[in-house]
């Protein structure tokens, strides 16, 4: 039976998750020498939050220990605390526990073992079915739901909510990994989970206690100078030397982690991921699948 998630449990779990200093966390995130800490003196709570964010890594191996009782509900409360456009709250989440349903999602997502093994599999759903039903009850009509804007709004709301849950999960010492491969076959996922029209699974999220032998490290991100622009957009050509340095760092990371990534670093890996229709892994028909699920996308 799962251990109840009391305030005392939360405090112990948070303390037991060793957080690096902010300087070390930044160094790991960018795979470069540590820079001076920002001036956040007197803000220990802020430092704890930021270092937790910087230490994020995907976890694909979990212990068999269940999550504490009430943990999923706490993650959902955290998710509901995310920003929501016009407070429409256009998402739902399904805690998938049934082995047969998990097995079906495992097949859709390319047989990723952690889908079957993780204590909790949360499927995050962009949900325009609920506002459809509410509008019909109110007698107002719902023509606006047929447009791309509302689809984007629902998808963005879902992603913001899920990321809030991820931040909360990692703060509590859990490991997580997103499962975007559920979009390989949205119609099959909808069938497995009994989704109504105008609802689709944006992604899954495995949550659990990281196994002691779980592989993976903090993956270096693009230098901030590449993604942080001042006043106007800086061209990729102007960033060439910085990107070449990043490719070298990522090549070293791939080698260290024994990841089967082609030579050429991140730039080559990313380019091959978008080179062909086949590289989309079935998601080239996503618009047709969404149409079939009730999204007009006008």
Q: What would the DSSP string read from start to end of 59-106?
A: ---B-SPPPPBTHHHHHHHHHHTS--GGG---EEEEEE--HHHHHHHH
- 197 contact partners, CB below 8 Å, separation of at least 6: 129, 132, 293, 294
Higher pLDDT, 130 or 253: 130
The pTM for the full model equals 0.90
Structure-block tokens of residue 56: 């994020």
For the chain, which domains are there?
A: 57-214+283-292 (3.40.109.10)
- Radius of gyration for the alpha carbons in the chain, expressed in angstroms and rounded: 21
Per-residue pLDDT reduced to its tens digit, 25-56? 899 999 988 766 666 655 667 778 888 999 99
Mean pLDDT of all residues belonging to the chain: 90
Out of 16-30, 92-106, 263-277, least confident range: 16-30
215 touches 61 (CB < 8 A): yes
DSSP 8-state symbol, 142: -
d(CA 289, CA 227): 33
d(CA 160, CA 157): 5
């Amino acid at each position: 039976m799962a251990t109840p998630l009391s305030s005392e449990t939360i405090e112990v779990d948070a303390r037991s998750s060793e957080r690096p200093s902010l300087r070390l966390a930044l160094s790991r995130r960018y795979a470069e020498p540590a820079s001076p800490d920002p001036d956040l003196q007197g803000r220990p709570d802020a430092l704890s939050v930021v270092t937790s964010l910087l230490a994020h890594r995907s976890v694909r191996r979990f212990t068999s220990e269940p999550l504490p009782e009430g943990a999923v509900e706490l993650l959902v409360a955290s998710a509901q605390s995310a920003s929501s456009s016009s407070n429409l709250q256009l998402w739902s989440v399904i805690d998938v526990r049934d082995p047969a349903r998990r097995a079906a999602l495992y097949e859709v997502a390319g047989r990723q073992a952690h889908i079957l093994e993780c204590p909790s599999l949360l499927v995050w759903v962009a949900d325009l079915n609920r506002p459809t039903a509410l509008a019909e009850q109110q007698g107002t009509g719902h023509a606006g739901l047929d447009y791309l804007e509302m689809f984007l709004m629902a998808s963005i709301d879902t992603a913001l909510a899920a990321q809030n849950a991820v931040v909360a999960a990692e703060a509590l010492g859990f490991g997580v990994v997103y499962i975007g491969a559920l979009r390989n076959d949205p119609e099959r996922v909808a069938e497995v989970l009994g989704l109504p029209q105008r609802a689709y699974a944006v992604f899954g999220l495995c949550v659990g206690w990281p196994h002691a032998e779980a592989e993976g490290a903090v993956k270096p991100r693009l230098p901030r100078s590449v993604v942080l622009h001042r006043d106007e957009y800086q061209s990729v050509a102007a960033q060439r030397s910085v990107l070449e340095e990043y490719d070298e760092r990522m090549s070293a990371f791939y080698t260290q982690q024994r990841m089967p990534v082609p030579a050429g670093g991140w730039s080559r890996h990313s380019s091959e991921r978008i080179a062909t229709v086949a590289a989309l892994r079935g998601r080239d028909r996503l618009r047709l699948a969404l149409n079939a699920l009730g999204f007009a996308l006008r």
